[in-house]
Amino acid sequence: MRKRLVLAGGGHAHLFTLSRLGVFGDAGIAVACVAPGPFLAYSGMGPGMLSGRYAPEDLRFDIAAMLDAGNRQARSASRFPSDRANGARRHVFVQGRVAGIDPEGKRLLLEDGRELAYDAVSFGLGSVVDAPFPVEGEGVYTVKPIENLLAARRAIESRVGSGEAVRVVVAGGGASAFEVAGNALGLLAGLGVAKPLVTVVAGRGLLPGWPVRAKRLAQASLARRGGRVLCNRVERFDGDRVMLVGGGTLPCDVLLVATGTRPPGIFTRSGLALAPDGGLSVNAFLQSVLYPDIFGGGDCIRFAPTPLPRAGVYAVRQGPVLCANLLARLAGRELTPFRKTDTNFLALLNCGDGRAILRKAPLILEGRWCMALKDWIDRRFIGSFAPARPPRGSGRPA
């Protein structure tokens, strides 16, 4: 009887596993991936989608197609004629959202009432925006999920097209907030807006924790295009105005929220979070410290051996170890520890005007060539997980 692995979420930490489904099929393991949609948007290119540099299809990983490719590989390699003739499907995509976890019964509960049984499960759910004020309502867009940035772009385009004013406020001051603000300015410039109104409301200033030179470059990038930075915090959004902490208001038509992230609340509700941030608590093997058949990677976990920043680079680095350990757990083999690697990784911030800021301590640079490098790295990363195309005349299994 085949064992069943469930990938909860198509996050970056799961891409390596999804690209190597043949190995799981050979081991008699069926893989199901449950996610809200068949595509995963790459966060590193999201701000560029806001400015119009990228189309939605430029930054998508096709999760469903990766599962289909795994099935085609399994059928062609199968020793059983019935598998090849009947198009047997070992791996499936399940569209839905995980609402709960029953670790004792080894099942996931979906929002629509369905249940998914597993022999092992891995969570790659990413993170959600941690906003200190309500983010519901027209004109408010959190930076996650990434698709929200496309909705914000369309709202801005619509207002400009109808001759209305577009006053953009970005709540937050980190790398994501800077990229979003810069690309909002880029979008408005591309739409012919002569005097764009984009204000970053950042309680600790722009790019806290970054080197001084990077902060100055980021500030100058926004300022030369009409953007400004206000050291304060948003208290709430009130229709067409942002109310600031301590008093004061800003006119606002579009509010982009980039106030930091946190893991989704599912682990707290299921008793699997052992830390205040609500992440899935995992050991050095990316394995739950409470239930050995539960694993996870990326922004939704809390790495118990040592704290890790929420950065996509860690999800990507965890991918191969997570894949190996899921296979090892189901095959009864020894697990491999994830070793925290050098934190001085290359960082590239899209300024929204064809330039990028590069940080590789102690080096801080800015220029168009930096953006060209970022674009090359991002597109190469997307392409590295593109599933093999089916033979001409064939289609996805129904």
The answer on pLDDT for 395 being more than 50 is: no
Q: What is the pLDDT of residues 74-132, one digit of tens each?
A: 655 544 444 443 345 689 999 999 999 999 999 999 999 999 999 999 999 999 999 99
The C-alpha angle with vertex 168 and arms to 165 and 174, in degrees rounded to 5, equals 170
Residue type, 70: G
- Residue 281 bridge partners (DSSP): 302
pLDDT for the residue 40: 93
DSSP string, 281-350: EE-TTSBBSS-TTEEE-GGGEEETTS-----HHHHHHHHHHHHHHHHHHHHT----PPPP--S---EEEE
* Secondary structure (3-state) at 148: helix
Share of the chain above pLDDT 90, in %: 79
Helix axes 212-223, 175-190, angle to 10 degrees: 20
Give the separation between CA 31 and CA 89, rounded to whole angstroms: 10
The answer on pLDDT for 339 being more than 90 is: no
Q: Are 284 and 196 in contact (CB under 8 A)?
A: no
pLDDT for the residue 89: 64
Band of pLDDT at residue 397, cut at 50, 70 and 90: very low
Return all residues near 236 (Cβ < 8 A) that are at least 6 apart: 133, 134, 242, 243
Residue 23, Cβ neighbours under 10 Å: how many?
Answer: 15
Q: What is the pLDDT of residues 14-67, one digit of tens each?
A: 999 999 999 999 999 999 999 999 999 999 999 999 999 999 999 999 999 999
Give the separation between CA 187 and CA 95, rounded to whole angstroms: 33
Query: Residue 96: is it exposed, middle or buried by C-beta count within 10 angstroms (0-12/13-18/19+)?
Result: middle
Q: What is the torsion angle, in degrees rounded to the nearest 10, for the CA atoms of residue 342, residue 346, residue 351 and residue 355?
A: 170
Q: What is the mean pLDDT of residues 324-336?
A: 96
Q: What is the mean pLDDT of residues 153-161?
A: 97
Q: What is the pLDDT of residues 361-383, one digit of tens each?
A: 899 999 999 999 999 999 999 99
The answer on pLDDT for 133 being more than 70 is: yes
pLDDT for the residue 275: 81
Q: What is the pLDDT of residues 184-215, one digit of tens each?
A: 999 999 999 999 999 999 999 999 999 999 99
Contacts of 134-137 with C-beta under 8 Å, sequence gap 24+, read 134/236, 134/237, 135/237, 135/257, 137/237
pLDDT for the residue 393: 52
Query: Would the CA dihedral through 63, 67, 70, 76 be positive or negative?
Result: negative
Give the separation between CA 115 and CA 382, rounded to whole angstroms: 31
Residue 345, Cβ neighbours under 10 Å: how many?
Answer: 14
DSSP string, 246-270: TS-EEE-SEEEE-S-EE--THHHHT
* Secondary structure (3-state) at 150: helix
Q: What is the DSSP letter of 19?
A: T
pLDDT for the residue 84: 43
Whether residue 145 has a cis bond before it, omega within 30° of 0:
yes
Whether residue 362 has a cis bond before it, omega within 30° of 0:
yes
Whole-number average pLDDT of the chain = 91
pLDDT for the residue 394: 47
Q: Are 36 and 135 in contact (CB under 8 A)?
A: no
Q: Taking Cα atoms as reference points, which of 61, 86, 66 lies closest to residue 24?
A: 66
Q: What is the pLDDT of residues 231-289, one digit of tens each?
A: 999 999 988 899 999 989 999 999 999 999 999 999 999 989 888 889 999 999 999 99
